Amino acid sequence: MALAEINFDGIPGPTHNYAGLAHGNLAAERNATHAADPRGAALQGIAKMRALAARGYAQAVLPPHERPFVPALRALGFAGTDDHAVVAAAARAAPTLLAACSSAAAMWTANAATVSPSPDTADGRVHFTPANLVSHFHRSLEAPVTTRILRAIFGDPVRFVVHAPLPAAPQFGDEGAANHTRFATAADAPGIEFFVHGASAYDTSAPRPARYPARQTLEASAAIARRHGLAPARTVHAQQLPAAIDAGVFHNDVIAVGSGTLLFCHEHAFVDQAAVLAQLGDAVGDAFTALVVPAHAVPLDVAVSTYLFNSQLLARADGRFTLVAPLECREHPATARYLDDAVASGGPLAEVLTFDLRQSMRNGGGPACLRLRVTLTDDERAAVGARVFGDDALFAALEAWVRRHYRDRIVAADLADPALLDESRRALDELTVLLGLGAVYDFQRDHR
Ligand code: SUG
């Protein structure tokens, strides 16, 4: 049964804005007062999908979430005769909470879930654990809706299990596939699943960052490996270097990316890095290759500002990889030089494609943040009922949909505009029909 990786990219939502909500995410903190362009954000994301699909890489989409999220505002005590009045009450009393409930952060689908393909799991089904994202309130709102959306797409219980998110407590902080990598020696071989945590919740003797939060715990990663039925011999856990988290590496995918038998990472990615690489080598086998970038070539702060490692590694027929990187990597001399040399050396990187994803990048989201990798057999793919797989017709329909509904400028004050709530709901209502998803949003369920 042929197994193929499908990239499920998030579509930036109609309320995309910069609110400085993510502590330790330097780009998001720096751009807090910038005006955002939701239309541009969505079109940049679709352009990346379109280009990769045109090169033959399987592409699918995950929809934005409903924002502003009125149920959360009501839960926080903002009341009113209708939803507009609730938004107005929040805008008056607590604009920061309105911004948190208006964030389009669900676009970063690398944080939607951790996915274990069927060859890796004890029961032979594809397992999904939606991330609880408890480290930030604005992101924690995503978990129940992501669960609902994944269940709408992967509804066949014979082939798929969409678990509930882990318990919503800091001890089980889980940020999904951004801290998870799957290696495999051949397309159909069982994978080696590599989980990276920021800290252990209970082992207080282990090192931890001093300045910024460690978002993923060892206990969360271990619970996911257990519930997905992964073989311990094919599961590796590692800890992120606390100094890297304190330098702005808030997820492992800001400092490492892996695929097939290749790991591309910075020299300051993991605690006891030599031991981690040796363990991966043992688990993956002789073909395992670590392409480790030294700090003298790309200092940690440059890795964070360019998002060199927040790239996609796409397998090629010749066994090498295409690196899909942010445009910022071409613009910085250190990363541009590193990539030119890497390609010229004839090593595992055959080609580098860069994309302008600046709207997302300003909130700390690069190419890899915007996609969730789901590896499926042909039968599993055929069992997906929703129309989420990308082809020219779908991309054209999505672009037209974005141009019809999205604004090209949003600043903090716009979040209070009652028309934005209506526009956003109209857009999402239409999208669920376009994607064949059914009523996945609260506003569709409450008002029908
Ligand atoms: O959780 N930014 C997101 C970016 C997530 C990037 N994802 C991966 N690395 N996989 C975050 O920090 C900023 C929102 C704001 O400030 O408006 C934000 O949530």
Q: Give 62-76 pLDDT, tens digit per residue.
A: 999 999 999 999 999
Mean pLDDT of 382-398: 97
* Rounded-to-integer distance, Cα 146 and Cα 115, Å: 13
- The Cβ-side half-sphere exposure at 339, using a 13 Å CA radius, reads 26
- pLDDT, tens digit (0-9, with 9 covering 90-100), for 113-153: 999 999 999 999 999 999 999 999 999 999 999 999 999 99
- pLDDT, tens digit (0-9, with 9 covering 90-100), for 328-386: 999 999 999 999 999 999 999 999 999 999 999 999 999 999 999 999 999 999 999 89
| Residue from 175, 193, 219, 380 carrying the catalytic annotation | 175
Q: Whose CA is nearest to atom 8 of ligand 1?
A: 369
Q: Are strands 235-239 and 192-197 parallel, antiparallel or unpaired?
A: parallel
Q: Which atom of ligand 1 is nearest to the CA of 19?
A: 17
- How big is the CA angle at 428 (ends 423 and 431), to the nearest 5 degrees? 130
Q: Which atom of ligand 1 is nearest to the CA of 368?
A: 10
Taking 70 as the threshold, does the pLDDT of residue 93 lie above it? Answer: yes
Q: Whose CA is nearest to atom 2 of ligand 1?
A: 363
Question: Hey, what are 222's tokens?
Answer: 């271990």
68 lines ligand 1 (CB under 6 A): no
- pLDDT value at position 1? 65
- pLDDT value at position 204? 86
- Whether 369 sits among the annotated catalytic residues: the reply is yes
369 lines ligand 1 (CB under 6 A): yes
- pLDDT, tens digit (0-9, with 9 covering 90-100), for 189-209: 999 999 999 999 999 898 999
Supply the mean pLDDT for the chain. Answer: 97
The best mutation among 251, 254, 359, 362 to test binding of ligand 1, ranked by most ligand atoms within 8 Å of the C-beta, falls on 251
pTM above 0.85, yes or no: yes
Sequence-ordered strand ranges (E) for 214-357:
235-239, 256-259, 262-266, 289-293, 312-315, 321-326, 349-355
* Rounded-to-integer distance, Cα 436 and Cα 60, Å: 13
Residue 279 identity: Q
Q: Whose CA is nearest to atom 7 of ligand 1?
A: 369
* Rounded-to-integer distance, Cα 178 and Cα 175, Å: 6
Distance 448 CA to ligand 1 centre (A): 32
pLDDT above 90 coverage of the chain, percent: 97
* Rounded-to-integer distance, Cα 442 and Cα 177, Å: 25
Taking 70 as the threshold, does the pLDDT of residue 212 lie above it? Answer: yes
- pLDDT, tens digit (0-9, with 9 covering 90-100), for 80-92: 999 999 999 999 9
* Rounded-to-integer distance, Cα 199 and Cα 201, Å: 6
* Rounded-to-integer distance, Cα 144 and Cα 69, Å: 12
Q: What is the DSSP string of 133-156?
A: -TTSHHHHTHHHHHHHHHHHHS--
- Whether 180 sits among the annotated catalytic residues: the reply is no
The best mutation among 15, 17, 21, 175 to test binding of ligand 1, ranked by most ligand atoms within 8 Å of the C-beta, falls on 21
Taking 60 as the threshold, does the pLDDT of residue 448 lie above it? Answer: no
Mean pLDDT of 266-288: 98
Distance 208 CA to ligand 1 centre (A): 21
Quick one: CA dihedral 372, 374, 375, 378, positive or negative? negative
Q: What is the DSSP string of 166-197?
A: PPSSGGG---GGGGEEEE-SSTTSPPEEEEEE
